Structures are given as C-alpha cells and as structure tokens.
Amino acid sequence: MNKIPVMEIFGPTIQGEGMVMGRKSMFVRTAGCDYKCSWCDSAFTWDGSEKEKVRMMTPMEVFQELKALGGNNFDHVTITGGNPALIGDAMKEFIELLHQSAIEVGLETQGSKWQDWFYLVNDLTISPKPPSSGMNPNLELLDDIIFKLRDFKSNFSLKIVVFDDEDFDYAKMLNNRYKESSIPFFLSVGNSNPGEDGDISGRLLDSLDWLWGKVLGGPEMNNVRPLPQLHALVWSNKRGV
C-alpha cells in the first residue's frame, strides 16, 4: 500500500501566497526535502527535529482526517512540504480522491523533480530557490518541468522568494528565460526572521515596499507580480493557522 509521509494537517485557513492568494484551503504538509535552504521556514519537515511527528498515512487516511477536521467548510486543499514532489503514486491517488469529492488541489514544489501527477494539480506553483537559499537549482531540469506544464496548458505559475538584490537578479534571469511562454510569474517577499515573535507586519510591509520599488524600477519585470505573505502580515509567525 502506497503511503504519504505526513508532517502536519491543518485548516481550514486562508492561503496567503501566490496564484490563489486569499483562497480558503486545508493544508497537508509532507515530510522530507531534497533541499536544505538556509532560511527554510519548515526545516522541521526534514532536519529531524520533529521526526517523531511524521505519520505514514494512506491517501484515504489523509482524506478522512481532512474531512474530520474541516467537514464541508472547504473545497480546496494545499499540499506543501518539504517537497511533495518526492512522493509518487500515493500522491496521485490522494489528488484523485480529492477530485472525486469536487475538492480542488493546490501544490507547491521547488521544481527539482518531475511527477506525472503534476498534470492533475488545479493550481501548481513552481518555486525555484534563489541564491540566498544557498541552493543552486538545476535549470535544465527546471526547463523540462516548465515546458511540459506549458505544453499541457496546466494552470501553473512560477514564484520566487526574494530577500535581496541578488535574489531579485536571479528572478530577473528566470523571467527572461521563460518570458516567451507567458507563464504567470510571482515574487514573494522573504521573511528574514520566521521565528520572530510579536507583530512583524511593519517589517514585512517595508520589505514589500522595497520589492515594489525594484519591480517599478525598470521594464524587465513589467509582467511579474510582487506579493507579500498575507498570512504572515495578518497572523505574524504563528504556525498551524
């Protein structure tokens, strides 16, 4: 029996980022990642610090826990990680199970690994990691993923987290690389201190102001959409909401 390594299941809450910003959604966070980003805000999914919380669950068990938690108070599930693209057939089964109940599926992955079930995802975010992460994405592999999704006419977008000028230049490079393909392209302001307590909205809004200035500064990024993490603005750094 195929199983999914589940780190946490929570919701309903509001999706605060990217292409379906504002969408009411349940969240399923898978364990395990092939990256180790310096600023990873969910390092607990892969650094072993919470490994006793990981549960190996069948797609039906995850579905049932979502229904027990959310009842009929949702029609969208966001799958995030870690990197959910590390999971094969079990994820395909899980997405099909949700679709059978008319529940839409959003998924975010860094674009380091392809899965055929990407085609089933209603809103798919490919989020290559910029230099500040310390990672160095394989761009040929990324091309392959992006062009497959484009040719299939998938509803997907690119999203780059931007912390600094170097990240912005990286996003610019990617935007030029894929501009011809007219793929929705989002920038997300990095949260430089995801552990900070208290109201962090002022700091995050200042960062967004900076990023807007960069985008407005020249024509190369005319088409990109710089956005905040809304949930961090409203709820600061709380986890599980």
Element at 213 (helix H, strand E): helix 201-216
Residue 40 within binding range of ligand SF4, rule CB under 6 A: yes
Interface mask toward its own copies for 76-115; x: CB under 8 A: x---------------------------------------
Instruction: Pick between residue 60 and residue 234 the one whose CB is nearest to its own copies.
Output: 234
Residue 159 within binding range of its own copies, rule CB under 8 A: no
Q: What is the DSSP letter of 152?
A: T
Q: Name 69's Cβ contacts closer than 8 Å, sequence gap at least 6.
A: 9, 10, 11, 26
- Torsion (CA) 139, 144, 145, 146 in degrees, nearest 10: 80
Exactly one of 134, 165, 209, 240 binds its own copies (CB under 8 A); that residue is 209
Task: Phi first, then psi: give them for residue 93, nearest 5 degrees.
Answer: -60, -40
Task: Phi first, then psi: give them for residue 183, nearest 5 degrees.
Answer: -90, 130
Chain contacts with ligand SF4 (rule: CB under 6 A): 33, 35-37, 40, 42, 45, 81-83, 110, 129
Binding site for its own copies (CB under 8 A): 12-14, 20-24, 71-76, 186, 199, 201-202, 205, 208-209, 212, 215-216, 218-219, 221-228, 230, 233-235
